Amino acid sequence: MNWLALVIAVLILTGLWILWRAGRNERAIEAAHPRTAKVVHVNGHEITLDVRGHGAPIVLIHGASGNLMDMTFALAPALADRFTVISVDRPGLGHSPALHRRGETLREQADILQAAVEKLGFSKVYVLGQSYGGAVALAWALAHPNSVAGLVLVSAPSNPWDGGLGLLYTLNGNPVTGPIMRAIVAAFPPRRRINDTITEIFSPQAVPKGYARHIAPDLTIRRKVQRANALQLKHLKGELAAMAPRYGEITIPVEAIHGTADTIVPEAVHNRKLRTQIRDFHETILPGMGHMPHITQTEAVVQAVVHLDQRVGLQDPDITHEAGDET
């Protein structure tokens, strides 16, 4: 009996030590990467975004496990001389707090991002989404068609696929194993695994110099971000299955960019089917390119945006915004 009590005591103390380390690391991460971008308040929630440039407005939505700095590394600067570029932290990721603890649906994310952009003064925008962000862009077009002038989908998932998300995301999204896994990751950041994951996402292209430092991947190991990310991904397949039959309702112009070597969101599973589901659909297929063309083939993505703008001609609302202020 004494041995059992000792084992229990050791487990409790170990758990408390892990929780202490996790909290300490999270505080250090937030101190090292403070929120410096604009904050918009919508119905009691905060959305963090970066606004730069002049011209017709375009919203850039990042993918899973990321934040708006993925967009500000290359694409936002490349677009800013021709467009007002609004890069957003999706709810629960980066510096945008989660809307709740259940994992935000695509529709919930689209709703609050549309409301945040409207609060900035933009009633109609172009919307560009990369990877998971492309699914949010599709949900935005379905939920708020009058607020979207056109879509740009970069390596975007659009249809259900065979298989799951992998063991780590499954464990992280589980109500029993999730809190344990998230605490361990936050307490003992797997930096080699983080770097390997970034390499896998860019493959077969190389990770550009300075990218990993720019996007501050440590922000994603915070427990609250791990939870939001895992739960959002957990529901993605089912949400796409529900949305796919409605893609015929999307009548605005759509530009799609996809690499043939994308193993994260395979072109054959998603883009190839989506082209038959949306009527006004123009695609740019990038032979040999992987999942991150907005970084590795930035000019091709810029040209897709310019092509969309030439087709639509959305006007510049001539609104001036200062970075870092609150609305």
Q: How many CA atoms lie within 13 A of 312 on its CB side?
A: 27
Instruction: Please report the pLDDT score of residue 266 as a whole number.
Output: 97
Instruction: Please report the pLDDT score of residue 305 as a whole number.
Output: 98
As to burial, measured by CB atoms within 10 angstroms (0-12 exposed, 13-18 middle, 19+ buried), residue 112 is: buried
Cα–Cα distance for residue pair 152/252, rounded to 1 Å: 11
- The answer to whether residue 325 scores a pLDDT higher than 60 is no
Q: What is the pLDDT of residues 97-136, one digit of tens each?
A: 999 999 999 999 999 999 999 999 999 999 999 999 999 9
Report the pLDDT averaged over residues 4-23.
Answer: 92
Q: What percent of the chain has pLDDT over 90?
A: 87
- The answer to whether residue 322 scores a pLDDT higher than 90 is no
Q: What percent of the chain has pLDDT over 70?
A: 97
Q: What token pair was written down for 223?
A: 């427990």
Contacts of 268 (CB under 8 A, 6+ apart): none
- 3-state SS string over the chain? CHHHHHHHHHHHHHHHHHHHHHHHHHHHHHHHCCCCCEEEEECCEEEEEEEEECCEEEEEECCCCCCCHHHHCCHHHHHCCCEEEEEECCCCCCCCCCCCCCCCCHHHHHHHHHHHHHHCCCCCEEEEEECHHHHHHHHHHHHCHHHEEEEEEECCCCCCCCCCCCHHHHHHCCCCHHHHHHHHHHHCCCHHHHHHHHHHHHCCCCCCCCHHHHHCHHHHHCHHHHHHHHHHHHHHHHHHHHHHHHHHHCCCCEEEEEECCCCCCCCCCCHHHHCCCCCCEEEEEECCCCCCHHHHCHHHHHHHHHHHHHHHCCCCCCCCCCCCCEC
Work out the mean pLDDT of the chain and round it to a whole number: 94
pTM metric for this prediction: 0.95
CATH fold label, 3-312: Rossmann fold (3.40.50)
Q: First-to-last CA distance in the chain? A: 60
Of 127, 152, 154, the residue nearest 294 (C-alpha): 154
301 contacts 79 by C-beta, under 8 angstroms:
no
Q: Domain extents for the chain?
A: 3-312
Q: What is the pLDDT of residues 143-181, one digit of tens each?
A: 999 999 999 999 999 999 998 777 777 888 888 899 999
Instruction: Please report the pLDDT score of residue 167 as a whole number.
Output: 75
Instruction: Please report the pLDDT score of residue 155 as a whole number.
Output: 98
Q: What is the pLDDT of residues 50-98, one digit of tens each?
A: 999 999 999 999 999 999 999 999 999 999 999 999 999 999 999 999 9
In this predicted model, which residue has the larger pLDDT, 9 or 157? 157
290 contacts 204 by C-beta, under 8 angstroms:
yes
Report the pLDDT averaged over residues 43-52.
Answer: 97
Instruction: Please report the pLDDT score of residue 327 as a whole number.
Output: 66
Instruction: Please report the pLDDT score of residue 323 as a whole number.
Output: 47
b/e map 250-278, b = 16+ CB within 10 Å: bebbbbbbbbeebebbbbebbbeebbebb
**Of 5-19, 20-34, 309-323, which range is least confident?**
309-323
Cα dihedral sign, 265-92-105-179 = positive
Report the pLDDT averaged over residues 305-315.
Answer: 94
Instruction: Please report the pLDDT score of residue 95 as a whole number.
Output: 97
171 contacts 178 by C-beta, under 8 angstroms:
yes
Angle of helix 177-187 relative to helix 2-32, nearest 10 degrees, comes to 60
Q: What token pair was written down for 207?
A: 């990770």
Q: What is the pLDDT of residues 171-213, one digit of tens each?
A: 888 888 999 999 999 999 999 999 999 999 999 999 999 999 9
